[in-house]
């Protein structure tokens, strides 16, 4: 680990910093001279070797494991003495028809995307309360605002993140803690390759063709998605605001507009537009 002796720099933790959005954020923040810790479940030294910034401290953490989360955050406090910003980014997607998604598969999705985030929040909140300051930035998704076909459990996990974060914003404001949601549209990352399919996703004849067609569209949207650098640039702006908004949407304009349309269009019409995109024909 790198030792930083300047005490005026914000200390930042980014979960899931080995790849994609988390990596872009962690590297960008480190290059902007923040004191950054990034997490991976892999060997931190090996991951660090592939990073463009030697100013980034990689630590091992699995957000699905209480002990791992406590150990990781303890090690930061021991070394840096404080924690100013936490970016809850670690996550993955699961795809398949809801009808044949098992409860274990659903729990697997929530264990990382929702309970993992909650675990990290609950561990850092007492630290931030004692400091009288801190930023918790939760990476949600436009899929946390619009229920996406064949990504039902992923959407559900992000809707849950939205609800939790909206409540937390109110609960901890008086302690000087700022809580923010970043809601990305499609971004080109390893998310597509890391997506898990439910066991019966491709075998149920009732859904097979439709599922495969929709998945091709989802993957193509992501492969043509924006660069994660865009989220990193937004994040740097947010942590410089003393009183950021609860929600920031980021991504291609049509995807951001879709969320606005959901508010104003009749629900039936809006759902038709979404279905036409993901399930044409
Ligand atoms: N890409 C998109 O289009 C998009 C859109 C909206 C929202 N998002 C959200 O953005 C976040 C990052 O996704 P990404 O697109 O950057 O995907 P990615 O490239 O697959 O990166 C996922 C990161 O999460 C980490 N991770 C996964 N499970 C973990 C666990 N149990 N504990 C700790 N770390 C874990 C991985 O680290 P290790 O494997 O090294 O542990 C990796 O660094 C996710 O929350 C995702 O839902 C992505």
CA nearest neighbour of 59 among 3, 19, 13: 13
* Ligand 1 geometric centre to CA of 53 (Å): 19
- pLDDT number for residue 7: 66
Q: For a substitution probing ligand 1, which of 47, 56, 86, 91 has the most ligand atoms within 8 Å of its CB?
A: 91
Tell me the per-residue pLDDT of 166-197, one tens digit each, with 9 for 90 and over: 999 999 999 999 999 999 999 999 999 999 99
- pLDDT number for residue 6: 58
Asked if 37 is an active-site residue, the reply is no
Residue 264 covered by a domain? no
- What domain count does the chain have? 1
Beta bridge partners of 137: 87, 180
In b/e form, how buried is each residue of 51-85, taking b as 16+ CB within 10 angstroms? bebebbbbbbbbbeeeebbeebbebbeebbebbbb
Tell me the per-residue pLDDT of 235-281, one tens digit each, with 9 for 90 and over: 999 999 999 999 999 999 999 999 999 999 999 999 999 999 999 98
Residue 157 covered by a domain? yes
Range of the structural domain that residue 143 is part of? 11-256
Rg of the chain in Å (alpha carbons): 19
Asked if 154 is an active-site residue, the reply is yes
Q: What percent of the chain has pLDDT over 90?
A: 94
Reading the block at residue 25, the tokens are: 């954020």
User: Between β-strands 11-14 and 85-88, what pairing exists: parallel, antiparallel or unpaired?
Assistant: parallel
Which residue out of 34, 135, 140, 157 is catalytically annotated? 140
**What value does the mean pLDDT of the chain take?**
96
Q: Which residue has the tokens 């463009």?
A: 52
Asked if 18 is an active-site residue, the reply is yes
Residue 62 covered by a domain? yes
What would the mean pLDDT of 103-129 be, rounded to a whole number?
A: 98
Asked if 268 is an active-site residue, the reply is no
Q: Name residues contacting ligand 1 (CB within 6 A).
A: 15-22, 39-42, 61-64, 89-92, 112, 116, 139, 141, 184, 186-187, 189-191, 194, 222, 225
CATH of the domain at 173: 3.40.50.720
Helix axis angle, 152-172 to 103-110, nearest 10° = 40
0.75 exceeded by pTM: yes
User: Terminal CA-to-CA distance of the chain, rounded, Å?
Assistant: 54
* Ligand 1 geometric centre to CA of 279 (Å): 26
Compute CA 216 distance to the chain's CA centroid, rounded to the nearest angstrom.
Answer: 23
User: Between β-strands 134-139 and 35-40, what pairing exists: parallel, antiparallel or unpaired?
Assistant: unpaired
Residue 44 covered by a domain? yes
Tell me the per-residue pLDDT of 72-91, one tens digit each, with 9 for 90 and over: 999 999 999 999 999 999 99
Q: For a substitution probing ligand 1, which of 13, 15, 17, 20 has the most ligand atoms within 8 Å of its CB?
A: 20
Residue 124 covered by a domain? yes
Residue 270 covered by a domain? no
Residue 18 covered by a domain? yes
Query: 135, 246 in Cβ contact below 8 A?
Result: no
Residue 271 covered by a domain? no
């Amino acid at each position: 680990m790198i030792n930083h002796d300047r005490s005026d720099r914000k200390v930042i933790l980014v979960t899931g910093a080995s790849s994609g959005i988390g990596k872009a954020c962690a590297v960008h923040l480190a290059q902007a001279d923040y004191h950054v810790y990034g997490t991976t479940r892999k060997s931190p030294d090996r991951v660090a070797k592939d990073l463009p910034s030697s100013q980034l401290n990689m630590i091992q953490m699995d957000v699905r494991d209480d002990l791992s989360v406590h150990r990781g955050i303890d090690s930061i406090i021991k070394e840096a003495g404080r924690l100013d910003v936490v970016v809850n980014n670690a996550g993955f997607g699961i795809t398949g028809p809801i009808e044949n998604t098992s409860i274990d598969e659903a729990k697997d999705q929530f264990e990382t995307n929702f309970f993992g985030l909650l675990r990290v929040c609950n561990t850092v909140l007492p630290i931030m309360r004692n400091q009288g300051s801190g930023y918790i930035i939760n990476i949600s998704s436009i899929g946390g605002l619009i229920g996406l076909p064949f990504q039902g459990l992923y959407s559900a996990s992000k809707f849950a993140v939205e609800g939790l974060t909206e409540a937390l914003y109110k609960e901890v404001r008086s302690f000087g803690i700022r809580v923010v949601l970043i809601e990305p549209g499609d971004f080109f990352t390893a998310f597509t390759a890391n997506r898990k399919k439910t066991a019966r996703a491709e075998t149920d004849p009732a859904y097979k063709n439709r599922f495969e067609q929709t998945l091709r569209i989802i993957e193509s949207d992501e492969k043509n998605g924006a660069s994660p650098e865009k989220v990193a640039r937004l994040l740097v702006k947010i942590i410089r605001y003393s009183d950021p908004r609860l929600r920031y949407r980021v991504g291609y304009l049509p995807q951001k507009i879709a969320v606005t349309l959901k508010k104003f269009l009749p629900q039936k019409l809006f759902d038709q537009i979404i279905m036409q995109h993901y399930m044409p024909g």
